[in-house]
Amino acid sequence: MTWRTCFRAPAILAATMFSTASFAAEIEHQTDYSIALAGLPVARASFHTELEKNRYTISGTLHSAGLVDIIKRTSGQTRVSGVVGRDQLRATSYSMSYRSGSKARAISVTFRNGNVVRARMEPKRTPLPKNWVPVTHRDLRNVLDPLSGLIIPAKARVCPNTLPIFDGESRLDIQLSPKGTRPFRTRGFEGEAIVCGVRFVPRAGYRKGREDVEYLRRLNTMEIWFAKADAVEVYAPVYVRIPTKLGPVTVSATRFGG
């Protein structure tokens, strides 16, 4: 596993760092995360949520921290807007941009009723490798964005569940399976978290046989913990653990609803 993979893994998991947000009528909400590799801090993330009536907006930032002399300096911004539905949050627009060292990329996606109507990535990945699995029109139907896709209404089942995600380039499924509950405590929350096992299933928009993708596809020991925001009746991730050859990548909420 490479340092790039360590940052890519939580991003592949529907940008878990980008999706934990609470919702209530006409509110503003701040959520913070700490990201570590083998117990050593490597990044911080902060997210601001605004909700007015049935429309929501989440904006977030990610910055490398800690081991800046060993890894490439990394930063990213993300934003999603959409409508709060009865069973899911449905995005209308999603964007993400990041820079790692000298490399940079920007992605934007427009949704309508759960279907992708426009997706753009700059710079484009050209030429596509021969082992590239292309995204078809069928792959772009009835999908969730990787930001609000992990916000689960309290009346819906958290796990087992399968989340169909499109992140602007790749189409994947996140399969959640029940693993009980665990106590979790952070600023703004103290209580039981629902623990789900996670399986990563690539569908399209990736290079077949790529080492980091195949590693995640075979991995069956990933976990994601969901906490309930009682005031707004949703579950959202507060902890993620992804084993790697360099040690576990963990994403932990340092502030949740406080």
pLDDT digits (tens, 9 = 90+) for 166-219: 999 999 999 999 999 999 999 999 999 999 999 999 999 999 999 988 999 999
CATH 1.10.3470 matches 3-255:
no
Q: Evaluate whether 71 touches 2 at the Cβ level (below 8 Å).
A: no
pLDDT in the model for residue 11: 44
The answer to whether residues 231 and 185 touch, using CB atoms and an 8 Å cutoff, is: no
* Positions of the chain with pLDDT lower than 70, given as ranges: 1-26, 66-72, 231-232, 258
164 upstream amide cis, omega within 30 of 0: no
pLDDT (0 to 100) of residue 71: 58
Note the pLDDT of residue 245.
85
The answer to whether the beta carbons of residues 148 and 91 sit under 8 Å apart is yes
User: What pLDDT is recorded for position 6?
Assistant: 42
Q: Which amino acid is at 250?
A: T
Q: What is the pLDDT of residue 101?
A: 81
pTM for the model: 0.85
User: Tell me, what's the pLDDT at 208?
Assistant: 93
Extents of the domains making up the chain: 3-255
Q: Which residues pair with 194 in a beta bridge?
A: 181, 226
Please give the pLDDT value at position 197: 97
Q: State how far the Cα of 156 lies from the Cα of 91, in Å rounded to an integer.
A: 18
pLDDT value of residue 17: 38
Alpha-carbon radius of gyration of the chain:
17
Distance in angstroms (rounded) separating the CA atoms of residues 42 and 252: 12
Cα–Cα distance, 154 to 135 (Å, whole number): 32
- pLDDT for 66 equals 64
pLDDT at 152: 83
The pLDDT of residue 75 is: 87
